Amino acid sequence: MTVRTRFAPSPTGYLHVGGVRTALFSWLYARKHGGRFILRIEDTDRERSSMESVNAILEGMTWLGLEYDEGPFYQTNRFSRYREIIEQLLASNHAYLCYCTREELASMRAEQMARKEKPRYDGRCRERHSPREGVSPVVRFKSPLEGRVVIRDLVRGTVIFQNNELDDLVLARTDGTPTYNLTVVVDDMDMGITHVIRGDDHLNNTPRQSNIFYALGKEPPVYAHVPMILGPDRQRLSKRHGAVSVMNYREAGYLPEALLNYLVRLGWSHGDQEIFSVAEMIKLFDIEDVNQSASTFNSEKLLWLNQQYIKNSAPEHIAHHLSWHLGQLGIDPSKGPDLAAVVKAQQERSKTLLEMAHNSAPFYREFEAYEETAARKHLNASVLGPLRDLRERFKEAQSWVAPALHEIILATVESHHLKLGKLAQPLRVAIMGRPISPPIDVTLELMGQATTLARIDRALAWIDHRSNA
């Protein structure tokens, strides 16, 4: 049997981290077992679904590298198939037309609640054989009245539901549009899905869907219901906790593999190991090792993990993602020093790519102004002489590489009887506009001789102007 898993988001909003974790678990399971991973867009909610949300899902999957083998399939393209199955269930007496009005259903539920009963449809139309004038019927599934549904869940173990606790769910609305519990069964059946990995908020749907499979003469797939992700306050993850679009994490400067690594550890572990390559995730991940308890989203842990990935990844890989962030700042990274070399200089001190992009911007374009506090402290009349001397030495430099530049700075410092920081910091502010940069000699090499001389000239003029003001 070839393992076939699926990710089936509804395009009614952004792709958030809970959905991404479900997709990741499904993707890993398929990859581990040499199977197929299918993307299905469950867009039957026409009022809330949008192409904008579809594009956000596709963009998020691409950025994360969760490539799918088949799809995307759209449920709105399969309405004729759903109608075919509905007719089949009606013909086999596994479904029926229900003519109850909304008012009747509301009254029925109110009476049940008054009797302290669980509100549910009481099946009053199960054996009705004549239409009701002026009422458009829904189609209901004729749920078994006896027996039980046994779910062998890969995460939760054996879960048993009594059929007499299940009501007759609606399969098709009055306008003929199919409902979720029908479409998901038909799609999983037609697409040959063998394993369904999804959030445990779907667990109560599973016995209903299983009974529809049985009515169609099919075995349900194997289910694995993963617990939800909670915020630090142990409430369901929401926007205030970070349940934003996955693309917001890209905009905030996270690497996709860092986010995947963080999400795979929400509910799953392999000993004490914290950092996993994607290859290691595929090799080691097992859905049966996922915890039953809910996981807590920790933004600080994600940031730490992202920093580890930035620090330890190949500069060329970081540069691939950093170029997008520079582009967002209006910078063309081809017009300046080699981006991988800039990354190598910045890796140790960057927690996010957004931070790295802002810190790298002066290598690619002139900064607008000096940081006020830094300029006031470091760019003053006391450094005019040493800075002019250093500028002339740089002008005569025969080799523009970090070791040679370091020697020039040391020689200038010694000749003026200064400590290194007394010249290095003013030089850093002059070159970068701020007091923080990679090592000054590396910074100068990356900046290049012409730009370095021009920025020292700018700083000298700024000091002269301030001194004479």
Confidence grade of residue 243 (pLDDT, cut at 50, 70, 90): low
Fold of 315-468: Arc Repressor Mutant, subunit A (1.10.10)
pLDDT of residue 245: 86
Which residue is listed with tokens 């917001």? 248
Q: Give yes or no for a contact between 422 and 443, defined as CB atoms under 8 angstroms apart.
A: no
pLDDT of residue 240: 64
Residue 48, burial from CB neighbour count under 10 angstroms (0-12, 13-18, 19+) = exposed
- Decide if 239 is catalytic: yes
Instruction: Indicate if the pLDDT at residue 49 is higher than 90.
Output: no
- How many alpha carbons fall within 13 Å on the CB side of residue 99? 10
- 4-7 sheet: strands from edge to edge: 4-7, 36-41, 70-74
Tokens for 49, please give them.
């679904």
Instruction: Indicate if the pLDDT at residue 241 is higher than 80.
Output: no
Q: Give yes or no for a contact between 402 and 337, defined as CB atoms under 8 angstroms apart.
A: no
Give 70's contacts (C-beta < 8 A, 6+ positions apart).
36, 37, 38, 39, 191
Dihedral sign, Cα of residue 111, residue 114, residue 119, residue 120: negative
Tokens for 130, please give them.
């004549």
Instruction: Indicate if the pLDDT at residue 97 is higher than 80.
Output: yes
Q: Render the burial of 158-185: b for 16+ CB within 10 Å, e for the rest.
A: ebebeeeebbbbbbbeeeeebbbbbbbb
Per-domain boundaries in the chain: 315-468
pLDDT tens digits for 344-397? Answer: 999 999 999 999 999 999 999 999 999 999 999 999 999 999 999 999 999 999
Give the pairing type, strands 138-141 and 170-172.
antiparallel
Mean pLDDT for all residues in the chain: 95
* Bridge partners (DSSP) listed for residue 198: 225
Q: SS3 for the chain, per residue?
A: CCCEEEECCCCCCCCCHHHHHHHHHHHHHHHHCCCEEEEEECCCCCCCCCHHHHHHHHHHHHHHCCCCCEEEEEHHHHHHHHHHHHHHHHHCCCEEEECCCHHHHHHHHHHHHHCCCCCCCCCCCCCCCCCCCCCCCEEEECCCCCCEEEEEECCCEEEEEEHHHCCCCEEECCCCCECHHHHHHHHHHHCCCCEEEEEHHHHHHHHHHHHHHHHCCCCCCEEEEECCEECCCCCECCHHHCCCCHHHHHHCCCCHHHHHHHHHCCCCCCCCCCCCCHHHHHHHCCHHHCCCCCEECCHHHHHHHHHHHHHHCCHHHHHHHHHHHHHHCCCCCCCCCCHHHHHHHHHHHCCCHHHHHHHHHHHCCCCCCCCHHHHHHHCCHHHHHHHHHHHHHHHCCCCCCHHHHHHHHHHHHHHCCCCHHHHHHHHHHHHHCCCCCCCHHHHHHHHCHHHHHHHHHHHHHHHHHHHHC
- For the chain, give the percent of residues with pLDDT over 90: 91
Distance (Å, whole) CA 153 – CA 290: 12
Tokens for 424, please give them.
């290095």
Tokens for 154, please give them.
């890969």
Average of per-residue pLDDT across 407-428: 97
Give the pairing type, strands 157-162 and 95-98.
unpaired
Cα end-to-end distance, the chain, whole Å: 82
Instruction: Indicate if the pLDDT at residue 239 is higher than 70.
Output: no
Distance (Å, whole) CA 6 – CA 27: 8
Range scoring the smallest mean pLDDT among 133-137, 182-186, 453-457: 133-137
Tokens for 301, please give them.
């842990």
Instruction: Indicate if the pLDDT at residue 466 is higher than 90.
Output: no
Catalytic hit among 32, 218, 239, 395? 239
pLDDT tens digits for 278-335? Answer: 999 999 999 999 999 999 999 999 999 999 999 999 999 999 999 999 999 999 999 9
